[in-house]
Amino acid sequence: MGLSDQLRTGKTSGEATGAKAERRKSPRVPVPNSEVYYATPLLPLLMHAPKGEKRLLVNISAGGLQFISDKYLEPGKKISLLVIVPAFLGHMSFRARVVWSQKIPDKLVYRTGVEFIKMDRESQTKLNNLRKDVSLRSSKKSRPQGGQA
């Protein structure tokens, strides 16, 4: 599986073959054309101003997100995140803990997964709206032509 496939599907080669069991409590939502900024130590990222390390956002769920980084981030490390999703709702701010960081084979980047440890109400509302919007769009695509169920 190539990097573009891994970025599109959110899976590494091992995950694509079923080598890694799903451990998430919430479904992941792909977020195309979105980015995440992270900073360590825990900085407020000027709360809504894009600062820190800019990275590609792969997916997001109620409990965390996955992004691509050019640096290995140590599991357990706490970071501040600013997520920008222009097509849906602007930005969201989170405090998070790195759960895992895995080098993508034959690339100079890492896939990094974090869990949220703190978010403000506005970010929680936006995250809920994003998850609802994505599920609405996917349920519309699954309906048969002509609007009949």
Look at residue 144 and tell me if it is in a domain: no
Q: pLDDT tens across 79-134, in order? A: 989 898 877 667 898 999 999 999 999 999 999 999 999 999 999 998 888 877 76
146 Rama class: left (phi>0) / alpha (psi -120 to 50) / beta: left
CATH of the domain at 88: 2.40.10.220
Given the structure tokens 């091992």, which residue do they identify?
A: 14
Domain range enclosing 124: 3-139
Look at residue 89 and tell me if it is in a domain: yes
Q: pLDDT tens across 16-59, in order? A: 333 344 465 778 888 888 888 888 765 554 454 556 678 899 99
Look at residue 146 and tell me if it is in a domain: no
pTM above 0.95, yes or no: no
Q: How many domains does the chain have?
A: 1
Look at residue 123 and tell me if it is in a domain: yes
Q: Cα separation of 99 and 58, whole Å? A: 15
> Helices in 27-111 by DSSP H: which ranges?
none
Look at residue 149 and tell me if it is in a domain: no
Look at residue 148 and tell me if it is in a domain: no
